[in-house]
Amino acid sequence: MKIQRRQFLAGSVALAAGGVLSTVPGAFAANDVKLGSVLDTSGIFDAYGKPMDMAMRLAVDEINAAGGLLGRQIDITAYDTQSEMALYTQYGQQLARRDKVDVVHGGILSASREAIRQTLRKSKVLYFYNVLYEGGVCDRNIFITGVTPAQQVEIVVPAAIKKWGPKIYILAADYNYGQITARWVQKYALENGGEAIATDFFPLDVADFGSTIAKIQAASPDIVVSALVGGAHLSFYRQWAAAGMKSKIPMASTTLGVGNEHKVLTAEEGDGILVAYNYSSEIESAANQSFLSGWTGKYGDTKLIHEIAVSNYQGVHVWAEGVRKAGSMDRDAVVSALEDGISINGPGGVVSIDPKTHHAVLDVHLMEFSGQKMKVLESFKQRQPIDTQGVCDLVANPDDNTQYEVKI
């Protein structure tokens, strides 16, 4: 995600203040494992950052309660960037050079990831970026556990065509993520007997979609596929429903709900929209029930849980499994262990690491919104990050250090 990817109306999702600590804790015990975290736990992106922070702390509590790592407890150094990009650079340097942490889990926007990635690489501090994004990062020092466009678009577009018909009208945010995702929608439409009859891009501050709705009516597609992003674009879904279009032309999305946006819309505005992500609280599995029980025990209400909070939780457990397998906190040993068949059974399903890209191989669940919840329709096991696999091979080129723009 570029910086605009996570722009969202401040306060659009109510957040509980209790249980979240965003300050740096006190001195470490001499033999503690040091986990660094840098997130937007206040400011305009806190609807994403606070649940991610909470999920990270829950994962650390679980690991510590089970004996820690290598017989040592994990201690957390957490910095709140207050949704200010410059603070990512400052805190990334502090985590690596002053705090000397063993690993960093953090970043929400692609810009925030890139603000700290090179510092952590140069300092040889292992980095986990646990967020859905546009794909293409190729760097042996980073592991990425969020879903990429090809993993989800390959699921949701064929399902929408099968359910509703071949003619697709695409709406997307006018920057890197939206442009790349629109191309993936076009690709999978053609491969499944469909056609993108129109594609419109919108700057992130656009909030009036009246003329767009008129254009869609005139084009008469079978489906609208939305890769709209942020608070202003949320207006589209409200205006679409208010215009009476929701009952006439169905919709799928690659973004709606990843940060609980579906809980901001009413059920009348959101019901029936198709999505595909790694996580829903409705997943019926022992691992998800254990996660929800643990969250309830620590925080009470589960309403703040969302896709990237679960990705952060899973990322911490993947890292911990790598440490156990390595039998060491040494960065190179942990990286080698993570490349050698690590997997965990997380709330969203099995999470494995692809050694070529250091991206996650994930279960992806086709879902539809129903009563402000994500109802699972079908689950697809172990989807590969094929977008990034097309440009990145860290087995063959371990010194690569590039964010590629994936060509489609």
Taking residues 336-354, what's their average pLDDT?
95
Nearest-angstrom CA–CA distance, 341 and 144: 15
Taking residues 82-102, what's their average pLDDT?
94
Taking residues 26-34, what's their average pLDDT?
66
Nearest-angstrom CA–CA distance, 255 and 245: 20
* pLDDT exceeds cutoff 80 at 188: yes
Nearest-angstrom CA–CA distance, 258 and 132: 8
Joined together, the tokens standing for residue 87 give: 């603070």
Do residues 144 and 360 make contact, with C-beta atoms less than 8 angstroms apart? yes
* pLDDT exceeds cutoff 70 at 397: yes
Residue indicated by tokens 């007997």: 193
Do residues 136 and 69 make contact, with C-beta atoms less than 8 angstroms apart? no
Nearest-angstrom CA–CA distance, 397 and 394: 5
CA atoms within 13 A on the CB side of 158: 11
First-to-final CA distance of the chain? 18
Nearest-angstrom CA–CA distance, 362 and 385: 8
Res 19: pLDDT:
37
Select from 140, 139, 143 the least CA-distant residue to 131.
Answer: 143
Length of the chain: 408
Q: pLDDT band at 38, cuts 50/70/90?
A: very high
Res 47: pLDDT:
84
* pLDDT exceeds cutoff 50 at 368: yes
Joined together, the tokens standing for residue 157 give: 């577009």
Joined together, the tokens standing for residue 315 give: 């990322």
Res 257: pLDDT:
86
Q: pLDDT band at 29, cuts 50/70/90?
A: low
Taking residues 156-185, what's their average pLDDT?
92
Nearest-angstrom CA–CA distance, 300 and 372: 19
Joined together, the tokens standing for residue 337 give: 């262990």
Taking residues 354-368, what's their average pLDDT?
96
- 45-59: pLDDT as tens digits: 888 899 999 999 999
Res 261: pLDDT:
81
Res 160: pLDDT:
97
Q: Average model confidence (pLDDT) for the chain? A: 89
* pLDDT exceeds cutoff 90 at 65: yes
Classify residue 297 by burial, with Cβ atoms within 10 Å: 0-12, 13-18, 19+.
exposed
- 259-315: pLDDT as tens digits: 888 888 888 898 999 999 999 988 989 999 999 999 999 999 898 999 999 999 999
Domains of the chain: 3-147+282-363+385-403 (3.40.50.2300), 149-277 (3.40.50.2300)
Joined together, the tokens standing for residue 200 give: 């419109």
Taking residues 119-132, what's their average pLDDT?
96
Nearest-angstrom CA–CA distance, 145 and 390: 18
Do residues 330 and 362 make contact, with C-beta atoms less than 8 angstroms apart? no
- 215-254: pLDDT as tens digits: 999 999 999 999 988 777 888 999 999 999 998 999 999 9
Give the strand pairing for 167-173 and 195-202: parallel
Res 7: pLDDT:
42
Other C-beta atoms within 10 Å of 143: how many? 28
Q: Residue 226 belongs to what H/E stretch? A: strand 223-227
Res 22: pLDDT:
44
* pLDDT exceeds cutoff 70 at 39: yes
Res 30: pLDDT:
53
Nearest-angstrom CA–CA distance, 103 and 70: 15
* pLDDT exceeds cutoff 50 at 23: no
Residue 300, CA distances (Å) to 38, 95, 151, 309, 329 in order: 24, 30, 32, 16, 33
One-letter amino acid at 151 equals Q
Res 371: pLDDT:
86
Res 4: pLDDT:
41
Handedness of CA 67, 69, 73, 74 (dihedral sign): negative
User: What's the predicted TM-score (pTM) here?
Assistant: 0.86
Percent of the chain with pLDDT over 70: 93
Q: What is the DSSP string of 134-183?
A: ---EEETTEEE-S--HHHHHHHHHHHHHHHH-SEEEEEEESSHHHHHHHH
Taking residues 307-324, what's their average pLDDT?
97
Q: List CB contacts of 268: < 8 A, sequence separation 6 or more.
A: 241, 246
Do residues 62 and 294 make contact, with C-beta atoms less than 8 angstroms apart? yes
Q: Considering only 64-73, 315-324, 327-336, 367-376, which range has the smallest mean pLDDT?
A: 367-376
Do residues 53 and 308 make contact, with C-beta atoms less than 8 angstroms apart? no
